Every structure is written in structure tokens, then in C-alpha cells.
Amino acid sequence: MERPAWAPRSIDISVPSVSRIYDYYLGGSHNFEVDREAARKAMEFLPGLPKIMQANRAVMRRAVRFAVDEGITQFLDIGSGIPTFGNVHEVAQEASPGAHVVYVDHDPVAVAHSQAVLAGNDAADVVAADLRKPQEILASPQVQRLIDLNRPVALLLVAVLHFVEDADDPYGAVAELRDALAPGSLLVLTHASYEGIPLPPERAEGTVAVYKDIRNPLIMRSREEIARFFEGYDMVEPGLVPMAAWRPDTAPEDEDPHAFSGFAGVGRTA
């Protein structure tokens, strides 16, 4: 198998990766045949997956603009994946030149590609770390350099918590991050759920099985379980809602029904 120049030598390109599958759904070019194969298999059950991913990216961009409007100029994006067009630093720095952004991911391809994209951008950086170890993230030189935890921060956990199993205590990790944030900080969160998918759950289960097969279990949580991540936050209007319904730019009836799969919400620390 041909190894492209952008692929770090350390990675096994015969194993699919969640961030590269996501990149494929978004029409990106940083994925391998093994990722595309897994993506196509998942789409056999849930053909609207690319639409769901696009809705996810769109709500992330709206939430970043909302954060800038609220006067926040520091962004910590954990589980950031491969930066494709319209990523956090582009949206934030366009709305607020000089906004500081730190990306965090544990996928070497996502980290290497982020480094390439961010070369020469002194106000943005990337950390190779795992959401399950918040202290490692907070103590990293990149976060220390760019994020002032005494001032409000927008913490982005976009399409990442559904890859953390309950046994790994995602609620504990989110609470630990919350406790490190200054008052007035925002948590921007999206999460997969069977609720809202315009297909019977049995069909969607086929997609979940594909992720399980590639050893990246996809944990579908209920709205109630997702709401628990916002303990200690005041919800920003309109609360925890289907992704396309969070402060939409266009009329909801113009949206693809798949865009209402899963939930999005923003909370503010008191």
C-alpha cells in the first residue's frame, strides 16, 4: 500500500481510524482505502451519515461564532480530528483576529495534519493527547502557551464523547475540564443518539456494529444521558436540541432530515 507523504511513519495505514473516516464523510482527502471501506459499510445502514457529519460541522461553526460574539477568544477543541475547510481556527480567527486555538487529538494523522495546516499560525497549535486524561491536556506546553485558564474559554467536545465508553468515565473527564475553566466559559458539545435518526434503530445499529468492528465503539446515548455532561453549566438557549435546530442559519424545513440526528448544546459556567 502506497504511503502518502502526509502520513506519519508511525501509523499503521491498514487499520481504519475514526478521524479519517470522518474526513472521508466530509469530502476530505486525508483518508485511506481502509477508512473509505469502513465508511461505505457504515453508510449501507445509514446512508445519511455524510449529512449528519456536515450538520455536526455546521453547528460547530455556529457555536464558535456565538462564542466570539460573547467575547470569548480562546478555544480548546478536544477530539478535533483532521482540520478540513472551515475549522475552528479559521472561523474563530476570521471573526476575531488573534483568537487562540488549541486542538487536541490522539490520532497521529490528525495531529500531523493539524501541524501542517497550522504552520506559521502563532495563535493556534495542536496537542497529541486523550480526552480521558484531562490533566495531560491542561498541563501541555501548547495549552500553557495559548490558553489563559483565568479567562473564559470555549471548550469544544464535538462528536467525540460518543467514542468514550462509560467504563472510561467520560462524565468525570468532562467535570474535571469544567472545574479548570474560568466563570463565563462555554462548553460546546455534540453527541450521537438513536433519537432523531429518521430510520428504525435496527438500521442504525448496523452502523454502530461497523464502528465496533474497527475497535472504535460508538456509544449512542439518550438525550437525558447527554444532558448529564452539562452538570454545573447553565444551558444557553435553545438548550440541548437536535443539531440542525441549534441557532440555525436557515429554515429547519430546508434541512435534510438526517441533520436532526443526535444532539447539540452549549452551556456556560457560572
Q: Domain segments of the chain: what residues?
A: 18-269
Name the pTM for this structure: 0.94
Q: Could you tell me the CA-to-CA distances from 257 to 97, 114, 120 in Å, in that order?
A: 35, 32, 40
Tens digit of each residue's pLDDT, the chain (270 residues) = 678 777 778 778 889 999 999 999 999 988 999 999 999 999 999 999 999 999 999 999 999 999 999 999 999 999 999 887 789 999 999 999 999 999 999 988 899 889 988 999 999 999 999 999 999 999 999 999 999 999 999 999 999 999 999 999 999 999 999 999 999 999 999 999 999 999 998 899 999 999 999 988 999 999 999 999 999 999 999 999 999 999 999 887 888 999 999 999 999 998
Q: What are phi and psi for residue 152, nearest 5 degrees?
A: -55, 140
**CB of 197 within 8 A of CB of 207?**
no
Quick one: CA torsion of 171, 191, 181, 109, rounded to 10 degrees? 100
**CB of 75 within 8 A of CB of 68?**
no
Protein fold of 18-269: Rossmann fold (3.40.50)
